[in-house]
Amino acid sequence: MVVSETDIIKEFFERQEVPLWGIADLSDAGFVYLPVDAVKRFRVGIVCGFPLSDGVINILSDGLKGTAPNLLYLHHYRQVNYFLDRVGLLLSRLLQSKGYESLPVPASQMVDWEKQAGHLSHKRLAVSAGLGWIGRNNLLVTPEFGSRIRLATVLTAAPLKINTPVPFGCGDCHKCLSRCPAAAIKEKPDSFDHQACFSFIKTVCNRKNLSQHICGLCLCPFPKGTPNGYSRKT
């Protein structure tokens, strides 16, 4: 039996216990902070996601008066990012051993603080990879884990089949709007107020002496499927 590169990657993620991954076209990657000549060598992006703990997220409450963000969430957030970075490193090494040049992109490395941007947009690539859609909360929403997920990407020259994007699936759900103390979330995803979000997060994290700009209040759970009944086929 001939084992394809995709089968090898699937087995890799199963061994690492990473439940969500997909293959994305790089045309919508938004490469602003990576050398253009360098990324031309890569064919696709392998996007992987690992869920955050519901127990950690569920204790978060109003950011000015309550427990969001807190040190527990900060530690958990970082540990999931570290895990994904290690997964990306191992996957890149595996692909390289098969003869395919690869580049692991960190899960959460800020390059431009003013624009809140990293080397590339993991969530945009995740949409291209069919893992979910951009919700009203301006985050990737997946049928399996909602927005309670962190992402990392490995760019590679391996000849892999690209996944198909899925439609917007929030339906009539607006729960994230009432969860946002900054009123940054609007009816339409493209109306999200980035400045209001960042201003609030910056203020509350400075007050709590947290070393990273995080919040967590709008991370919807979306248990097993979406309000409109959509469920991603794997």
What pLDDT does residue 213 have?
86
CB atoms within 10 A of CB 147: 23
**55-107 pLDDT tens trace:** 999 888 765 556 778 999 999 999 999 999 999 999 999 999 999 999 999 99
If one compares 222 and 152, the residue with the highest pLDDT of the two is: 152
**160-211 pLDDT tens trace:** 999 999 999 998 899 999 889 999 999 999 999 999 998 999 898 998 888 8
What pLDDT does residue 118 have?
63
Query: Which whole-number Å values give the CA distances from 210 to 203, 204, 232, in the listed order?
Result: 10, 9, 36
Averaged confidence pLDDT in the chain: 86
* CA angle (228, 139, 81) in 5-degree steps: 125
Contact 69, 215 (CB under 8 A): yes
Closest by CA to 222, choosing from 234, 207, 210, 232, is 232
Mean pLDDT of 49-57: 94
- Cβ burial, residue 188 (10 Å; 0-12/13-18/19+): exposed
Q: With pLDDT > 70 as the criterion, what percentage of the chain qualifies?
A: 81
What are 39's two structure tokens? 């990324």
pTM score above 0.85: yes
What pLDDT does residue 225 have?
44
**Model confidence at 2, in pLDDT bands (50, 70, 90)?**
very low
What are 71's two structure tokens? 């040190």
Task: Provide CB contacts within 8 A for 195, sequence distance 6+.
Answer: none
What is the phi/psi pair of residue 90, to 5°? -70, -40
Tokens 């929030």 found at: 170
**What type of residue is 94?**
L
Tokens 């992402």 found at: 151
Query: What's the start-to-end Cα distance of the chain, in Å?
Result: 22
Q: Over the range 120-144, which residues count as b (16 or more CB within 10 Å of their CB) and which as e?
A: bbbbbbbbbbbbbbbbbbbbbbbbb
What are 185's two structure tokens? 């979330």
Domain ranges of the chain: 5-207
3-state secondary structure at position 104: strand
